[in-house]
Chain A
Amino acid sequence: MDKKLEPIVKTMQEKFSAAHEEFRGEVHVFVNPEQIVDALTVLRDEYKFELLSALTAVDYYPQTSPRFHVVYQLTSLANNVSVQVRVPVDGDSPKVPTAARVYATANWRERELLDMFGIEFEGHPDPRRILMPEETEGHPLRKDFPLGYEEPQFTFNFEEIDLRKPYVKE
């Protein structure tokens, strides 16, 4: 582990009883959903992680507890180190407190997770879908959402396929 990361991991362990794992020099710290806002605040204010580089999620379906990991990739420009904070979330009605008040970029990134994974962020200032149309059903990046396709239309079968397409019909 990077020397600069050791005190950070230690603090996270003491304050939030966070487990950690390491792979190819990257450190992942596991924090409970209730404590994530405090943990991010500590990391930002005391350890100068100014930048929330990425905020995303991983779906471990069919595993249900935890089904998702919400991943916060933090970068410190001052110390030139990175740390990844992971929040395990259960499968039925996944909820995490919003980090939009700690890092403004979390606003859009959390909307993306709401859209793509259906993870709810409690207290989010603007909980709308961001990429998919509002009337979409389901959450595309979940593993139980099938990968769809579109039938290519040619002149000879244009109308036949057109009838099957989900357009707005009169």
Chain B
Amino acid sequence: MIFLDNLVNGISLGSIYAIIALGYTMVYGIAKMLNFAHGDVIMMGAYIAFCALQYWNLPPFLALVVAMLACTVMGVVIEGLAYRPLRQAASLAVLITAIGMSYLLQNLALMIWGANPKSFPSSMISIPTISLFGGQLKIAGATLVTILANIVIMVALTLFTSKTKTGKAMRCVSEDRGAASLMGINVNRTISITFAIGSALAAVAGILLCSSYPTLQPTTGSMPGIKAFTAAVFGGIGSIPGAMLGGLLLGVIEIFGKAYISTELGDAIVFAVLIIVLLVKPAGLLGKTVREKV
């Protein structure tokens, strides 16, 4: 039963990673940049939801909508102000800018909400704990919602990118930006939409993360952010099913590593897995290798 318990926890954590990883993977696939600040958008989303619930007394659903809207705007603004001027620049410059943006968000949060950790209200997800096998296996409401949300988002995104016109435009831009713009696709707008979707998902991820792990502070987003990026790379960056697979595997590995090997080494195990995967399959589990043109 402990095994099953760990498995459920692992899948739940993995689902959160998967949703965050989607933001990374979409942005990486389309803008060809590592949006280091994504983890901090998650933190911002969680703080906004926290304020909506605690101070403005909004119902959970409205809190979710407010957080998603705020994060969407934030994502688009970040892209427009900091990343768009660097569209032609070397990837090193863009990455350093993204790191700067990550620090900017963390320190803004520090100024607005202070360094003291806030406890995320449990009223966000008010589904009771489910008991299975005569009370031997308990699944928290938040866990259940997380796993369901992950499935819904995954299906919706897959349909969006394969069926809608905007989704197809996104896939075009990720294949070949130059050719896409020659075909009349507005590349800047497409990249903005990608950031908008990724950031809205970040808000969802932030709320789910803080429902399961309720300590909220300015650095809340950075570690899950880094791990979710790891998950995206693990699954093959740029691939939506890859993000799902990578996230779930990583969550399970982390929980099992902490349970059976060492609590202190949990993070180290996750990162060690990333390194091994990159060495064996440099493009990730579901990614495709691209030959460099000479």
Q: Do A and B bind each other?
A: no
